[in-house]
Amino acid sequence: MVIALPMVLRPVTPSDPPGSGTEHEADLAAMCRRRMEREATADLASPSAATEVLTLRHREILLAGGRPDELLALGAAVDRAVDRFPHCADLRLLRATVALAVHRGDLARRALAAVPGLDQLPAGRVVTADVALFEGNYAGARAGYEQALRAEPRWDTVARLAEVAVATGRFDDAAELYSAAERELTATQRRAHAWIRVRRAALALALGNGEQAARFLDDAERSYAGWWYVAAHRAELDRARGRHGRAVAGYRSVLAAVDRPDVREALGTALAAAGDADAAAACHAGAVAAYLVSAARGEVHHLHHLASFYADVHPHAAAALGWARQDVELRRTGGTLSLLAWCQYKAGRTTEARATLDEAFALGAGDPLLQQRARVIRGGG
């Protein structure tokens, strides 16, 4: 399992110099202090001050692990601020960004539509393109990012174009775009450099190049030490290379820093591969319980985790299909259709799976996992 993290929208330069901890720990502590200071002194009757405080909270949440429950609480806080300042464009952009992080494309579209002309501003074009990418409109996402770049060149917009290239199977283009994004960075944007290197490592691993993935992760760790996001991808690389003990240790360290159910599931899978069935079962049970509680509340950000779990980890064909179909009903993308096709194939519905694959490719999708699954489904019968 690859641990996801939303795009780093606005890299934060720490206000305090690193102390005895890692650079990530220093950044997180500095961000927490900065957010608390602004909460204590800001005039929250001002839309700009309210937006600043909520934006700092968003950055802190991402630094601390991007936990969905914290993002949902932040979304509710932004909604309350929007009720007070309905015409504040920056609040609406923040609401759309947070909504996408918990797979609520409908809320993101609504936020963007609330302020006329918002989608024509450079930042609005970027978030509008984010929505298009989230919903599988790859051509629309590419066009939106390119328009935003012409108006306001930014490294993170170039990196988004690289993500579109990965999603559509243009892997050489993706490598070039990631390199171009790196060239836009300054020497102080170390976390941004690490983020790009992790994305390049994930692509290399997906394409079967573990050695290159390891080099990218080494670069990421040198750029920004102690980041749980790098450690999670290192653990995934170790798991893929059969280094089960190292994978277990890696995921345990990540879980200690970031208590997320997807990390707990990944640890369980690593423990199973290492032969510790009891510990694996406990981790998997905890992760699935969290997924199910979230789904029972009507949340949708764990639907793909449930489908994948019941397809590959604890096979239950009917459950896997049910969760995958719910996810596809929300958004028909290369990723959701790929997973549905895989669940159909695992349930013995190969003809349906092939038709679902055709739909995914018709969208223009072509990410490595989709292509891998297509080779199995079309060749397996």
User: Cα(103)–Cα(226) distance, rounded to whole angstroms?
Assistant: 28
The structure's pTM equals 0.93
Angle at 379 between CA 376 and CA 381, to 5 degrees: 100
User: Cα(365)–Cα(264) distance, rounded to whole angstroms?
Assistant: 29
Token look-up 């690859």 returns 2
Handedness of CA 172, 200, 102, 57 (dihedral sign): negative
Q: What pLDDT does residue 136 have?
A: 97
Q: What pLDDT does residue 2 have?
A: 55
Question: Could you give the 3-state DSSP secondary structure of residue 15?
Answer: coil
The residue ranges of the chain whose pLDDT is under 50 are 8-20, 381
Q: What pLDDT does residue 62 have?
A: 96
The domain segmentation of the chain, as residue ranges, is 315-381
As a residue count, the chain comes to 381
Q: What pLDDT does residue 37 have?
A: 96
Q: What pLDDT does residue 44 have?
A: 86
User: Cα(85)–Cα(115) distance, rounded to whole angstroms?
Assistant: 11
User: Cα(241)–Cα(2) distance, rounded to whole angstroms?
Assistant: 14
User: Cα(136)–Cα(126) distance, rounded to whole angstroms?
Assistant: 15
Give phi and psi for 208, each to the nearest 5.
Answer: 90, 15
Q: What pLDDT does residue 150 have?
A: 96
